[in-house]
Amino acid sequence: MSMHTLVYDVDLKAPACVLLQAAFGCSGHHALRHFDSRHWLTSPTPGMRNVEGTDAEWQKAAAITRKHWGERRATVETKP
């Protein structure tokens, strides 16, 4: 089972965008396919962490993100 590292904000329950993933040197950019792009954070936040997980774990994280944000865009300014 291979592990993938993504930048994920544990407080906002949302991943960083592709550009931030690259800037942070993450290896799991293809794991972002599980997340809707409207849920990607486009600026750094205090809650962002490099998080390592399997593909199955990232699928679960994406489900948590979808449940948390629903149809809304993930934003830094306001928490739901």
In this prediction, residue 78 carries a pLDDT of: 52
- The DSSP bridge pattern shows strands 14-15 and 48-54 to be unpaired
Q: Which residues of the chain have pLDDT under 50?
A: 79
Instruction: Show the tokens assigned to 75.
Output: 């934003």
Spell out the domain ranges in the chain: 7-38
pTM listed for this prediction: 0.87
Q: Residue 2 has what pLDDT?
A: 86
Neighbours of 11 (CB within 10 A): 11
Give me the residues paired with residue 16 across strands. Answer: 41
